[in-house]
Amino acid sequence: MAGSKSVVIAALIANGAIAILKFFGFLLTGSAAMLSETYHSISDTGNQVFLLIGIRFSERERDRRHPFGYGKAQFFYSFLVSVFLFGIAGWESAKHGWNELTAGGHGGGGHAGEAVEFLFFSFQPPAWLDPLWVNYTVLLGAFVFETYALVKARAEMKRQIDRNDWSGYREAFRKTSDVTTLTALTEDAIALAGIVIALVGLFLEQQTGNPFFDRISALLIGIMLMGFALALAWENKRLLLGESLPTDEEQRLRDVVMQNGNVDEIIGFRTVYFGPNEVLVFADLRFDPALDTESMDAEITALESAMQDTNDDIRKVYVEPEL
């Protein structure tokens, strides 16, 4: 939990500063791609706020109404991030880029050196300012901040990959229950990709004199954000609905049970996530009929310990002896 929180706080500070820089860059230059990147960074900042709320809420002690605690709060708030923040930011970015393309630059942005209209006010950049270098400076500064946040998130995810003996990031994306770190890591990677797209668009506009490249960059950034929103929402949905451990992880636990010589058969076996890195196990087992009550109780205790040793995420094991 501490590792996830430090990742989120680092990203919050970085993205807040970047959003302000990009917005001023847009006001000074009227770049469509820069406005899309502003939407992107605002959504990233809001993302971190929601994730921190989820972490704080999930730390509440269990009570009568929530006997297994509030761990799923992180799944819920991460889902909100994907649907509302990234979805809205992606849509606004894509819409702005499309309007700029179809309206010939009269969709709310402008050309370098012209007055920039945004919401209810108009801003006239100073004549001496070179818009191109403003954009380059802001985006390169943002790249440095995002790289710092990405390094922090990657280190935490790498720790989890090593801990669980996963093959790499692809397997971690499918199997992790730490949606907070997953969201931060993916968000930072997408942010860096967005900065690169914006830089390429600005460079091509400079070389060709055609604003089409800046505007298509804004559209691409929006589409990329919406695609990420869908992927993240899907990952959170599986955990909100009560997903079990992956098949191979569950099979390892079954093997541990059957290695016990006093277990004759597994009648039923179920696992479920009730929070990040928190798993419940329910096992209906047929034991050797020769076992007395005291011996069976000792075997159940041994099985619980063996399964928890096999998977550190297991918080509670319920074993039901079957006749």
User: At 156, which CATH number?
Assistant: 1.20.1510.10
Residue 319's pLDDT band (cuts 50, 70, 90): very high
Same domain membership, residue 168 and residue 127: yes
Nearest alpha-carbon partner for 133 in 196, 193, 203, 191: 203
Same domain membership, residue 127 and residue 35: yes
Of 241, 273, 292, the residue that ends a domain is 241
pLDDT at 268: 94
Same domain membership, residue 289 and residue 237: no
pLDDT at 317: 94
Same domain membership, residue 82 and residue 230: yes
Nearest alpha-carbon partner for 199 in 261, 147, 134: 134
Same domain membership, residue 263 and residue 143: no
Of 207, 241, 275, the residue that ends a domain is 241
CATH number, position 312? 3.30.70.1350
Q: Which residue type does 70 have?
A: Y
pLDDT at 3: 64
pLDDT at 125: 56
pTM: predicted TM-score of the whole model, two decimal places: 0.74
pLDDT at 166: 86
Number of residues in the chain = 323
Same domain membership, residue 181 and residue 308: no
Could you tell me the residue range of the domain that residue 18 belongs to?
1-241
Same domain membership, residue 6 and residue 59: yes
Of 192, 215, 241, the residue that ends a domain is 241
Same domain membership, residue 136 and residue 32: yes
Residue with the bigger pLDDT between 251 and 57: it is 251
The highest-confidence range among 53-67, 94-108, 269-283, by mean pLDDT, is 269-283
Same domain membership, residue 207 and residue 143: yes
Cβ(271)–Cβ(280) below 8 Å: yes
Same domain membership, residue 312 and residue 269: yes
Nearest alpha-carbon partner for 184 in 24, 54, 26, 38: 54
pLDDT at 171: 87
Same domain membership, residue 261 and residue 227: no
Residue with the bigger pLDDT between 168 and 114: it is 168
Cβ(287)–Cβ(299) below 8 Å: yes
pLDDT at 276: 87
How many domains are there within the chain?
Answer: 2
Rounded to an integer, the average pLDDT of 262-269 is 94
Same domain membership, residue 271 and residue 142: no
Q: Average model confidence (pLDDT) for the chain?
A: 83
pLDDT in tens, 79-106: 888 887 777 778 888 887 888 888 755 4
Cβ(309)–Cβ(297) below 8 Å: no
Cβ(223)–Cβ(94) below 8 Å: yes
The highest-confidence range among 31-40, 130-139, 279-288, by mean pLDDT, is 279-288
Rounded to an integer, the average pLDDT of 177-199 is 86
Residue 124's pLDDT band (cuts 50, 70, 90): low
